[in-house]
Structure 1
Amino acid sequence: MNLDLLAIGWVHSIACLVALAAGPLAFGTRKGSPRHILAGRVYVVSMVVLNLSALGIYRLGVFFFPHMLAVLTLALVAVGWATARSHWPRPLWRHLHLSAMIGSYYLLIGGAVNEAYLRIDSLRQMANREGPQLIGLTHGAVMLAFLVLLLGWNAVEISRTLSRRRRLLPGA
């Protein structure tokens, strides 16, 4: 395993590990609970640190695709955080919050896939043997899992919203 990193790489890597752990805690706890809020704050801070540090990592000496993904991830985290804080726009904030945070976690996992193939010798050898389509297949499986998660959780939220509205209607 290749862990030859500069200080910024270590900060980036540690923030990635924190975000990888905090994300599922936030996703898996009751929404609005103190645990959810704490895990969400840890996730947001770690995502900001890891993506800002990513902007300072230049293996090729130029701003390129991974840097653009870091900017996109920062935007998703900002939308997710802002909608949770403001509860705006009123009818859609839960969907925006949920979708933005799931999208940001998907990008985190996508980066982890790339780093795994880059840093773990056996995976790098396998990718060299099988070709880049192996990495593409891995990303495709991750993308499919996150699409199912995104659609499923939004469907659950729509169902809860409709159920709440039915209970509030007179005569229902």
Structure 2
Amino acid sequence: MLGLTTLGIIHTAISLVALAAAIVALARDKQIATGNTVGKVYLYATILTCLTGFGIFQHGGFGKPHMLGIITLVVLAVAVQASRGGFGGKSRYVEVVSYSLTVFFHMIPAVTETTTRLPLGAPLLPNAEAPELQTAAGVMFLIFLVGAVLQVRRLKAGRGGAPGGLHTVA
């Protein structure tokens, strides 16, 4: 199916669960926070997405996707530490922006893999090095920045809750 291995299919399914959880959390709570079920699903599905991705070597050995997985795990660790108050008064900001950054990281391979595989037989882009993907990544990064600014403003206005996502959302 679409040139995916069994591990690739499992990896893709888990990543879709993570993205669905992110969409629900961002739409409902305006942030991803592990103090609720949706936030926990996002966190664990993202970790599993990274871990299963390490076993995929479609383009040879260790590459950019594997490095992105490592970076994502590091940012998740920062977010978890922030959810425990590990950054003092800035913890909520670090937590919320870090989780949102990992959503941006999810979108890079999602867009790359989708545009280089679909439609079947005539993909939109020839390969992962297509210049259009750099443009798409830039647009997605701008969307992340706008979202992060809105989240920080919401927190500053006192509508973002306590560390660890244990809060009520306005």
Shorter-chain-normalised TM-score: which range?
0.7 to 0.9
Q: What root-mean-square deviation, in Å, do the aligned CA atoms of Structure 1 and Structure 2 show?
A: 2.6
Gaps of 5+ in 2: 160-170
How far is 1:125 from its partner?
A: 4.4
Shift of 1:36: 6.0
Q: What TM-score do the two structures reach when normalised by structure 2?
A: 0.81
Matched residue type, 2:143? A
One-letter amino acid matched to 1:90: G
| Aligned residues of 1:27 and 1:36 also touching (Cα < 8 A) | no
Question: Does the aligned pair in 2 maintain the 1:116–1:123 contact within 8 Å?
Answer: no
Larger relative contact order (Cα-Cα within 8 Å, sequence gap ≥ 6): 2
1:169: which partner in 2? none
The answer as to whether partners of 2:76 and 2:98 remain within 8 angstroms in 1 is yes
- The whole-number CA distance in structure 2 between the counterparts of 1:65 and 1:44 is 22
Change (3 A) 1:125 1:13: closer
Q: Number of residues paired by the alignment?
A: 156
Which residue, out of 123, 128, 131, partners 1:133? 131
Q: Any stretches of 5+ residues in structure 1 without a counterpart?
A: 162-172
SS in 1 for 2:88: coil
- Contact 2:34 2:40 (C-alpha < 8 Å) held by counterparts: no
Paired position in structure 2 for 1:63: 62
Q: Which runs of 4+ in 1 moved over 6 A?
A: none
For residues 38-53 of structure 1, the aligned pairs below 5 Å read 38-53=37-52
Which residue of structure 2 aligns with residue 117 of structure 1? Answer: 115
How far the C-alpha of 1:6 sits from its partner, in A, is: 1.6
SS at match of 1:140: helix
Tell whether the 8 Å contact from 1:69 to 1:107 is kept in structure 2 after alignment. yes
Shift of 1:122: 7.0
Q: 1:113 to 1:31 in 2, by over 3 A?
A: closer
Q: What amino acid sits opposite 1:22 in the alignment?
A: A
Question: Partner of 1:12 in structure 2?
Answer: 11
**1:117·1:124 contact (CA, 8 Å) conserved in 2?**
no
Q: TM-score, normalised by structure 1?
A: 0.80
Higher helix share: 1
CA distance in 2, matches of 1:124, 1:53: 27
Q: Contact conserved, 2:118 with 2:124, CA < 8 A, in 1?
A: no
User: C-alpha separation between the residues in 1 aligned to 2:101 and 2:131?
Assistant: 23
1:78 deviates by: 1.8
